[in-house]
Structure formats: C-alpha cells, structure tokens
Amino acid sequence: MKCADMEWLGHPDCLDCIVRYNAVLAELDLASYETLLRSITKEHLPAKSLLYVQNQPSSDLFVIREGVIKLEETKADGSVRIVRLLQSGDVAGLEACIDNGQGYDQSAIVLHGANVCKIPYRLFDKLAKENSSFINNIMKTWYKQLNASGRVIIEFSTGSVRDRVARVLLYQAEASRKRGSAEIEMLSIKDISALTSVAYESISRVMADFKRDGLLVKSGPYRMKYKWAGLNALVNHQAV
Amino acid sequence: MKCADMEWLGHPDCLDCIVRYNAVLAELDLASYETLLRSITKEHLPAKSLLYVQNQPSSDLFVIREGVIKLEETKADGSVRIVRLLQSGDVAGLEACIDNGQGYDQSAIVLHGANVCKIPYRLFDKLAKENSSFINNIMKTWYKQLNASGRVIIEFSTGSVRDRVARVLLYQAEASRKRGSAEIEMLSIKDISALTSVAYESISRVMADFKRDGLLVKSGPYRMKYKWAGLNALVNHQAV
DNA sequence: CGAATCTTTGAATCCTCTCAAGTCTTGTGG
DNA sequence: CCACAAGACTTGAGAGGATTCAAAGATTCG
C-alpha cells in the first residue's frame, strides 16, 4: 500500500509518528516532506514474518507503528539470543543504513502481527546528503535508543529469574502505558527465555507465581492485564 | 600539559591516534587541525582517579591512549555495575557531548593508571558546526563502538562463571595483543565481579583453577601472562 | 614494616537447570 | 463448528552450580 494511496501527505498520524518520535524532520520544508513520504510504504505484517535477515544486504529501514518486533542474533556457535525488543516508535535497521547497506546486525521478527512504515535506504541516504542536520538528529535519536536498550538488555540478563521476568513485563507494560493501554502483548515463554537467558521452564514457574499472586491476569490470546505497582515492588524488592 | 608544549601539531602519535581510531579528522584542513589540537590536553592519570562523574555536567570528552578505564553506573537502588571497559583508542564521554553537556551516563574510573587526551566539549561542538561530516563520522565510529561493547557486555553477563571470566580475560587479551603485548593488565577480582554480576568468591575460585591449569601466570603487579588458545578453547567448550 | 585491602578457601544452603511426563492452546482441515 | 495435531505451557524431582557467611592468608602502598 503506497503512501499516496493513504493520503500520507499531511496525514496527522504520519507527521505525528515521524516528527514526534524521531524529531528529525521538523527542519525540512514541505517539498522535502513530499519526496520523502511518497516512497514510504505502510505495511501490515502477520505474526512471525521477517522484516529483514541478519547479514543480508540491507535496503530499508522501518519505523514500528504497532506491535512488537524482536531482534534476534545468531552467534558463531549457532546459539540464538534476542538482543532487543522494538515497539511503537522505535526504528529498526538503521545500522545497515549507517553502514551503507552492508547488512543487518540481527534478524527482525514480528511477534503477533505489526504495522510498520518501510523507508528505502536510498531515500534515507539522499535526504541525509541534502540536509546535513537530518542525519545528525537521526543519529542522536538512534544513539539514545541504542544506549537505553543496551541498559535494558543488561537488566534482563542479571539478577534472579524472578527479577528478570518482572523487568521484562515492566518493560512491556511501560510501552503499553504510553499507548494508553492497560494490557500487554505477551511475549511467548520461549521469547522471554531467549531474552533473559533463562530456561523456559523456570520462566513458566515464575509466571505461574505471578498469576497466583494476581499480578498478571490473562485477558485474551497473547494479552494480559498487569499490576504495575506489584511488578515494580518486585523489581525493587519492596513489600506490595 | 598543553598540546603546544608537546609539539602536538604534526606529532605523529597524535595524528595517528585521532585519525586512525576515529577516522574523523581526515577531511579537515590543517588550519582546523591546528585550532583543534591546541586545546587538547594530554594527561596522565593515576590509579583510581576519575575522568568524570555520573550525572555531573559535562565539559570534556576523552580519548584513551594507554591503560584501562571502567565505566560504572550507579542505579536508583544504589547498586553499582560496570557497563563498559575502555582501552587504547576508545572514546569516553561522547554521550554528554551529543546531549549538549547534559551530564555523563556513567562515572569513568581509571584502573591502574592511564594516559588520555582530553578534548573540551566546546571545541568538539564548534568543529561539529563548522564541518557537518565531522559529526557524522564520529557518530558512525561511536555507533560501532557502542554496538560492539554492548555485545561484549551481554557475553560477560551470560553463561557459567567459568565462561564469563574466560571471556573477560580474552577481551583483555585481545586489547593487549593489539598493542603487541603478551601480558594483560589485570582487573581486580571485584572489578570482574562488577562486570559479570558474579560473586567475587566465585571469580576467585575460577581464577585459581585457571592458574592451576597454567592458563594464567602472574608476571608482575596487576599483570598476567595468558594462554590465548587455552582460554579460547574454554569459551568455545573445546578440548585444549 | 604494618594497616588496609584484596584474595583464597571451606561448608552449607539456595537457586536454577535438566530431564521427563503430562496438560492446555491454537489454528487447520474436515 | 468440531476434532485433531502440533506446538506451547505446566509441573515434579533430582543434580549441579553459584551464593553466602565466615575466617584465614596474601598483597600493596604509604
């Protein structure tokens, strides 16, 4: 589905999305906008589809609008690890653009369905050359995102299993809160396992505890309601 | 010690260092170089001194020439974690410059003594404004550094204690190899503990094993010789 | 040389993993 | 719309690794 078909130009959603989340395009004049927006496609991707594959030559970057995307990295020894989770507003595949289409660092996999905007690398590159502050802003945003998510990953990889799972849930909850929702889109137990480096059976046990304690209540397929305060207390080792 | 005093201009060491490691200044003409280099100071810092402190307003960035610097982050609950190790050629404090002097993300602490080049943020900023490709290059370099070190940190945080310690040692060994040395500047057991989130007693036990097996031999204060092949085999779970 | 700090080592406990056997979901095809 | 197969999740029990607490032994630096 082409942007033009969607009346992207001036589409409040789009402007809001790109400008707000990347704070990048504010300085471009409208003509540049038009060029930019017309070659962006808006796509719906079903569960388990691939945005891109690790090491493959890169041609696009993506802005996530809805849903959760996991970035999986396969190491030399064949083990797979989720190194980041992307949600609404996050950008996927920028590393490849920065590196001139040399290849993606990870594979990007849709969890339970997602809406994304696909931006051709060529466009990105052109825009970067025409407007030098564009790439500076992108880089700053990207740096912050990378830095923040790096910290998150460390938190998912340390502490007791209980703490780790609680932190993953809180991370999910935080994103859902921003969208004004009281539900989270559940990661599968195996995904949480790949994210935390914990055996999936152990995750299952902890999740069962959380449900017993009423911290989590299933509210639909792949959906759960959560108790923010309770999870927070867990992570900070306080009484509820 | 001012740059001018050290005959920095044209100093092969300096050109080599900045140009080679950051691939950033190559495009600047010599006049720009002169402005730049004169306000850079070269400093020797003793063990345990601070390059900067977390959250303090930032005014400088640093290029590490010799020695090891640890970046420590204190979390809200008071716990401290080493989130990165910097060695020769790495850049410290760039995040603060990108964020307009808003404050450093971590505290940077010298381990056993270090030589660094201190670059005022103002200079950096000025240069960035005068030369738009400057900051792009810096960002690319920085992105790669951040990305690589993020991956390293994950490796330090997962797997058995034995694996983690071996990976830390290998990481150190790799840096020492680049300098053409067969020794590593040892981290203290507590530093390794803060880096791997493992109890320091457990680290001690593993290190004792390594010494018993001849993988490590003490060669001076804070110095050790290492067996590359043996450590590698450990991490990859192969026989030696 | 001596105080402070860092490291080693032991033993008991606790946590997490592994293996194994079920149960529950989800989505597909009749 | 239901039934079934495949995959996801749960739960138990035992083994092993890591932490903790405690006390003694090295190092380093002034």
Q: Which positions on chain D have an atom < 7 Å from some protein CB?
A: 8-13, 17-22, 27-29
- C1’ C30 / CA A208, Å: 36
Q: Using the predicted structure, report yes or no on whether residue A205 has a pLDDT greater than 80.
A: yes
Q: What is the pTM of this model?
A: 0.78
Question: What is the model's pLDDT at position A2?
Answer: 37
- The nearest CA of chain B is from the CA of A16 a distance in Å of 23
B197: nearest CB among A132, A158, A237 = A158
Chain B: residue nearest A159 by CA?
Answer: B197
Question: Which nucleotide comes closest to B199 if you measure CA to C1'?
Answer: D19
Contact A147 B95 (CB under 8 A): yes
- The nearest CA of chain B is from the CA of A188 a distance in Å of 21
Question: What is the model's pLDDT at position B7?
Answer: 40
Question: What is the model's pLDDT at position B59?
Answer: 80
Question: What is the model's pLDDT at position A136?
Answer: 65
Using 50, 70 and 90 to split pLDDT, how confident is the model at A35? low
Which residues, at least 6 apart from A234, have a Cβ–Cβ distance to it below 8 Å?
Answer: A162, A163, A166, A215
B72 vs B17, more confident: B72
Question: What is the model's pLDDT at position A5?
Answer: 40
Q: Yes or no: say if A55 and A41 are a contact pair by the CB < 8 Å rule.
A: no
Contact B157 A158 (CB under 8 A): yes
CB pairs under 8 A between A and B: 70
- The secondary structure element, H or E, covering residue B160 is none
Q: What region, left, alpha or beta, does residue B117 occupy, with left being phi > 0 and alpha being psi -120 to 50 degrees?
A: beta
The CA distance from A71 to A109, in Å, is: 6
Q: Yes or no: say if B117 and B41 are a contact pair by the CB < 8 Å rule.
A: yes
Q: What is the pLDDT of residues B163-175, one digit of tens each?
A: 999 999 988 888 7
Angle at which helices B132-156 and B12-22 pack, to 10 degrees? 70
- Other beta carbons less than 10 A from residue A65's beta carbon: 20
Contact B143 A143 (CB under 8 A): yes
Question: What is the model's pLDDT at position A29?
Answer: 54
Would you state the torsion angle of the CA atoms of residues B85, B86, B90, B93, taken in this order, to the nearest 10 degrees? Answer: 90
Determine the Cα angle at A118 with ends A121 and A99, to 5°: 30
Q: Does A127 touch chain B (CB under 8 A)?
A: no
Q: What is the pLDDT of residues B139-152, one digit of tens each?
A: 677 777 777 776 77
B158: nearest CB among A133, A151, A197 = A197
Chain B: residue nearest A78 by CA?
Answer: B236
Question: What is the model's pLDDT at position B9?
Answer: 38
Q: Using the predicted structure, report yes or no on whether residue A193 has a pLDDT greater than 60.
A: yes
Q: What is the pLDDT of residues B74-89, one digit of tens each?
A: 777 666 778 888 877 7
**How far, in Å, are A85, B71, B131, B188 from residue B168 at the CA level?**
26, 15, 38, 12
Of B138, B135, B191, residue with least CA distance to B165: B191
Q: What is the pLDDT of residues A16-33, one digit of tens each?
A: 555 444 444 555 555 556
Using 50, 70 and 90 to split pLDDT, how confident is the model at B72? confident
B158: nearest CB among A95, A136, A157 = A157
Question: What is the model's pLDDT at position A183?
Answer: 83
Question: What is the model's pLDDT at position A163?
Answer: 93
Question: What is the model's pLDDT at position B14?
Answer: 53
Q: Does A169 touch chain B (CB under 8 A)?
A: no
Using 50, 70 and 90 to split pLDDT, how confident is the model at B32? low
**How far, in Å, are A31, A213, A226 from residue A171 at the CA level?**
38, 20, 12
